[in-house]
Amino acid sequence: MTLSIRRATAADVETLNAIVQGSAAYRGDYAAMLDGYEITEGQIARDEIHLVEEAGETLGFYSLMLGATPELDLLFVADVAQGRGLGRILVDHMRALAARQGIGAVKIISHPPAADFYRRQGAIDVGFAYPMGGVTWVRPIFSLPVSPPSD
């Protein structure tokens, strides 16, 4: 099957929220982080949210917040699609998009179990986000260098 990546639309809200809420990475101790969290139509209109599909099925997505400090807000791959390299494909797409926007680096406040994934993508440790609200654990902060697009 062929993968495709496209920008999310308001019609994708339910599907994206199902991927977020169904993520095994946020069960147990990490469940509080997503308690009551929902992607909104406003978020889709405001941020660069792109999803990867195969045969019309959404397998994952990312959300890049633009602004003074561009930040990868969300990156999720559906549990059934884990281990296929989709996270890397989404990061590569996000980097190319950021490069076209003239962005040199993207900030990432990582879910602790995802930290090594971001390091493998070239992210550099720059600090920590300390517990606040429903998040009772320290999260690593990364800077992901953006390379110019190769096309």
User: How many domains, the chain?
Assistant: 1
Output the pLDDT for position 149: 46
Mean pLDDT of 87-96: 96
Q: Is residue 124 part of a domain?
A: no
pLDDT band at 151 (very low <50, low <70, confident <90, very high): very low
pLDDT band at 37 (very low <50, low <70, confident <90, very high): confident
Q: Which domain holds residue 25?
A: 3-104
pLDDT digits (tens, 9 = 90+) for 103-115: 999 999 998 999 9
**Residue in 146, 151, 150 with CA at minimum distance from that of residue 95:** 146
Kindly report the pTM of this predicted structure: 0.91
CATH of the domain at 42: 3.40.630.30
Checking if the pLDDT of 29 tops 90, the result is no
Count Cβ neighbours within 10 Å for each residue of 12-47 and write b for 16 or more, e otherwise: bbebbeebbeebebbeeebeebbeeeebeeebbeeb
